[in-house]
Amino acid sequence: MNKFLWLVRRELWEARVIWIAPVICAVIIVGGTLGASVFSHGVDIGGLNPEQLSKLNDVLRPDKLETVIAVGLGGMLVPLYLVLAFTQFFYAADALYGERRDRSILFFKSLPVSDTETVLSKLAIASLVMPGAIVAAGLVSQVGVALILSAKFASFGAVTSHLWTARVWGDVLVLDGYLLLAVIAWTLPVVGYLFLVSAWARRAPVGLAVLIPGAVILAEWIVLHTPHVWWTVVGRLFGLFTRAFEGGTRHGLGFTVDADQLQVPTDSVRTLLLRTEFLVSPEVLIGLAVGAALIAASIGVRRYRDATI
């Protein structure tokens, strides 16, 4: 195993929340769905309960039904993303501060591991391993929920074969993969910012990470009476799903239920996502450049500042 993988492994030893949080999420989602399917009638997917969904067999073309199922299962990643945002924030804010607080940085700096390797290993955790683990937990949850729904549908005498087609799971994987890329790209500047604060702060990096943009927003409002920074911050923190899927929804990704009329796109999820162009949008590309600059600055601060607080 090479040195970089050992550094990543070290992070997994220290911050067990990295893998515990996704496992708990998957258990809650699958367990909750199982409980609800056993004890109530109200299990739903995409706003439709099993009875409604089973009736769709009769009125929908199979490809449309499969898109509904895929998008419905894909929607399960939304709550998981919130868990990721929470754990990622605290991990990144502590990543380069915790080692100075407990002075263990002096142990790690006594070993032949460069600051670049160390910071990049922490970045790999925050921007690859954590989103990857959450999406993996999402996939496990999707399979688990689909199994439970299969059993539930079967109990209504509905045909369940549409849940298990290659197209449904191909679309689910594409959605999950797309969201993984979108999360990584979208959150990189936030992770970079938190790393820099974490490397710089003499105390309370979490508070400082919140206070700095707060102060900038306030200053802009007082001096210029404009809310640009506010909307930039809010958009970056809460706007991922809106931005990542707005191209798709404009082209008909997703479905709506209005007065018992189900509006379903005619194209596949894959075709629709290709039209989103989110991953090459200026917001994402500028964010990636800013994120890279902030990560480079974090490496510099870890390298050149006093090793302890």
Partner 1 sequence: MATLIAADNLTKNFGATRALDGASFKIESGRIVGLIGPNGAGKTTALKAVLGLARCEGSLKVLGLDPYLQRDQLTTRVSFIADVAVLPRWLKVSQALDFVEGVHPGFKRARCEQFLARTTIKMTSRVRELSKGMITQLHLALVMAIDAQLLVLDEPTLGLDILSRKQFYDTLLSDYMDAERTILVTTHQVEEIENILTDLLFIDRGRIVLDISMEQVAERFQQLVVAPDRAEAARALKPLNERQLLGRHVFLYEAADPAQLERLGEVRQPSIVDLFVAKMQRGAA
Contact footprint for partner 1 (CB under 8 A): 1, 3, 5-7, 9-10, 13-14, 99, 102-107, 109-114, 304, 306-307
Pick the closer one to partner 1 by CB: 148 or 199: 199
Pick the closer one to partner 1 by CB: 9 or 61: 9
Pick the closer one to partner 1 by CB: 107 or 164: 107
The least distance separating partner 1 from the CB of residue 108, rounded to whole angstroms, comes to 8
The least distance separating partner 1 from the CB of residue 2, rounded to whole angstroms, comes to 8
Which helix or strand (DSSP H or E) is residue 15 part of? none
Amino acid found at 113: V
Pick the closer one to partner 1 by CB: 124 or 136: 124
Q: What are phi and psi of 48, to 5 degrees?
A: -115, 135
CA-CA distance, 197 to 178, in Å (whole number)? 29
The least distance separating partner 1 from the CB of residue 109, rounded to whole angstroms, comes to 7
User: 283 and 232 in contact (C-beta within 8 Å)?
Assistant: no
The least distance separating partner 1 from the CB of residue 103, rounded to whole angstroms, comes to 5
Pick the closer one to partner 1 by CB: 10 or 64: 10
The least distance separating partner 1 from the CB of residue 12, rounded to whole angstroms, comes to 10
The least distance separating partner 1 from the CB of residue 120, rounded to whole angstroms, comes to 14
The least distance separating partner 1 from the CB of residue 308, rounded to whole angstroms, comes to 9
Pick the closer one to partner 1 by CB: 63 or 117: 117
CA-CA distance, 280 to 290, in Å (whole number)? 15
Pick the closer one to partner 1 by CB: 5 or 38: 5
Amino acid found at 149: L
Closest C-alpha among 35, 60, 69 to residue 262? 60
Pick the closer one to partner 1 by CB: 14 or 283: 14
The least distance separating partner 1 from the CB of residue 6, rounded to whole angstroms, comes to 4
